[in-house]
Structure 1
Amino acid sequence: MNEILDTIVIGGGQAGLASGYHLQKKGLQYLILEASSQVGGSWPHYYDSLKLFSPAGYSSMPGMNFPGEQDRYPKRDEVVRYLQQYSTEFKLQIQTNQYVESVEKDEVGFTIHTRTGDIFQTRTIINATGSFNNPFIPNIASQDEFKGLTLHSSKYRNTEKFINQRVVVVGRGNSAVQIAAELAEVSRTSLAVLQPVQFVKQRVLGKDLHFWFKLIGFDKFPFWRFGTTAPNSSVVDDMDQYKERLAAGKPDQQTMFKSFYENGVIWPNGKNEPVDVVIYATGFRPELPYLRKIGALDTEGNPIHKAGISNVPGLYYVGMEGQRSFASATLRGVGSDAQFVVKKLMHYIEQ
Structure 2
Amino acid sequence: MEFLDVAVIGGGQSGLAAAYALHKQGLTPVVLEASEKAAGSRPHYYDSLTLFSPARYSSLPGLPFGGDPDRYPHRDEVVAYRLRYANHLDAEIRTRHRVSHVRTQPGGFLLTLADGSELAARAVVAATGGFGSPNLPALPGLDSFTGTVLHVTDYRTPELFAEQRVIVVGAGNSAVQVATELAAHARVSLASRAPVKWFKQRPLGGRDLHFWLKVTGLDIAPLGRFQRSPTTMAVIDNGRYKAALSAGAPDRRPIFTRIEGSKVTWQDGVVEDVDAIVLATGYRPDLGYLAPLGALGGQSRVLHRDGTSLTHPGLAYVGLEWQRSLSSASLRGVGRDAHRIARRMAAHLARS
Give the TM interval when normalised to the shorter protein.
Answer: over 0.9
Shift of residue 117, structure 1, vs aligned partner? 2.9
What amino acid is aligned across from residue 336 of structure 1 in structure 2? R
Shift of residue 132, structure 1, vs aligned partner? 3.1
SS of the residue corresponding to residue 111 of structure 1 reads strand
Note if 1:215 corresponds to 2:209. no
Confirm or deny: 8 A CA contact 1:231 1:326 kept in the other structure. no
Shift of residue 231, structure 1, vs aligned partner? 7.8
Confirm or deny: 8 A CA contact 2:130 2:319 kept in the other structure. no
- C-alpha offsets along residues 283-320 of structure 1, whole Å, 9 cap, x if unaligned? 01123222111110112112211111112120000000
Q: Distance in 2 between matches of 1:229 and 1:217?
A: 21
Q: Superposition pairs for residues 312-327 of structure 1, below 5 Å?
A: 312-327=312-327
132-141 vs 13-22, which moves further: 132-141
Question: What does residue 259 of structure 2 align with?
Answer: 260
Q: Distance in 1 between matches of 2:131 and 2:198?
A: 25
Q: Distance in 2 between matches of 1:60 and 1:187?
A: 36
Q: Distance in 2 between matches of 1:90 and 1:143?
A: 45
Q: Superposition pairs for residues 129-144 of structure 1, below 5 Å?
A: 129-144=128-143
Taking only aligned residues, the RMSD between alpha carbons, in angstroms, comes to 1.5
Shift of residue 211, structure 1, vs aligned partner? 0.2
Q: Distance in 1 between matches of 2:273 and 2:163?
A: 14
Shift of residue 90, structure 1, vs aligned partner? 2.2
SS of the residue corresponding to residue 130 of structure 1 reads coil
Confirm or deny: 8 A CA contact 2:200 2:239 kept in the other structure. no
Kindly tell me: are residues 86 and 326 of structure 1, through their superposed partners in 2, closer, same or farther at Cα, counting changes over 3 Å? same
Question: What does residue 234 of structure 1 align with?
Answer: 233
Shift of residue 91, structure 1, vs aligned partner? 3.8
Question: What does residue 293 of structure 2 align with?
Answer: 294
What amino acid is aligned across from residue 242 of structure 2 in structure 1? K
Confirm or deny: 8 A CA contact 1:11 1:41 kept in the other structure. yes
Note if 1:101 corresponds to 2:100. yes
Confirm or deny: 8 A CA contact 1:148 1:264 kept in the other structure. no
Q: Superposition pairs for residues 50-89 of structure 1, below 5 Å?
A: 50-89=49-88
What amino acid is aligned across from residue 221 of structure 1 in structure 2? A
Question: What does residue 206 of structure 1 align with?
Answer: 206
Shift of residue 134, structure 1, vs aligned partner? 1.6
Query: What's the % identity of the aligned pairs?
Result: 46
Question: What does residue 159 of structure 1 align with?
Answer: 158
SS of the residue corresponding to residue 253 of structure 2 reads strand
Q: Distance in 1 between matches of 2:158 and 2:273?
A: 20
Q: Distance in 1 between matches of 2:42 and 2:143?
A: 31
Q: Distance in 2 between matches of 1:159 and 1:232?
A: 27
Q: Distance in 1 between matches of 2:130 and 2:55?
A: 24
Which runs of structure 1 show a deviation greater than 6 angstroms over 4 or more consecutive aligned residues? Answer: none
Question: What does residue 269 of structure 1 align with?
Answer: 268
Confirm or deny: 8 A CA contact 1:223 1:230 kept in the other structure. no
Q: Distance in 1 between matches of 2:235 and 2:249?
A: 16
Q: Distance in 2 between matches of 1:91 and 1:240?
A: 42
Note if 1:340 corresponds to 2:340. yes
Shift of residue 144, structure 1, vs aligned partner? 2.5
Question: What does residue 330 of structure 2 align with?
Answer: 330
Question: What does residue 49 of structure 1 align with?
Answer: 48
Q: Distance in 2 between matches of 1:233 and 1:222?
A: 19
Confirm or deny: 8 A CA contact 1:194 1:255 kept in the other structure. yes
What amino acid is aligned across from residue 330 of structure 1 in structure 2? S
Q: Distance in 2 between matches of 1:182 and 1:240?
A: 15
Shift of residue 145, structure 1, vs aligned partner? 2.3
Question: What does residue 119 of structure 1 align with?
Answer: 118
Question: What does residue 189 of structure 2 align with?
Answer: 190
Confirm or deny: 8 A CA contact 1:104 1:110 kept in the other structure. yes
Q: Distance in 1 between matches of 2:184 and 2:98?
A: 39
175-184 vs 300-309, which moves further: 300-309
163-172 vs 24-33, which moves further: 24-33
Shift of residue 265, structure 1, vs aligned partner? 0.8
Kindly tell me: are residues 302 and 230 of structure 1, through their superposed partners in 2, closer, same or farther at Cα, counting changes over 3 Å? closer
Q: Distance in 2 between matches of 1:342 and 1:62?
A: 13
Question: What does residue 349 of structure 2 align with?
Answer: 349
Kindly tell me: are residues 310 and 128 of structure 1, through their superposed partners in 2, closer, same or farther at Cα, counting changes over 3 Å? same
Shift of residue 227, structure 1, vs aligned partner? 5.1
Confirm or deny: 8 A CA contact 1:287 1:302 kept in the other structure. no
Q: Distance in 1 between matches of 2:288 and 2:88?
A: 33
Q: Distance in 1 between matches of 2:144 and 2:250?
A: 26
132-141 vs 336-345, which moves further: 132-141
Q: Superposition pairs for residues 14-29 of structure 1, below 5 Å?
A: 14-29=13-28
What amino acid is aligned across from residue 295 of structure 1 in structure 2? G
Kindly tell me: are residues 240 and 118 of structure 1, through their superposed partners in 2, closer, same or farther at Cα, counting changes over 3 Å? farther
- C-alpha offsets along residues 160-185 of structure 1, whole Å, 9 cap, x if unaligned? 21011111000000000000000001
Compute the TM-score of the two structures, normalised by the length of structure 2. 0.96
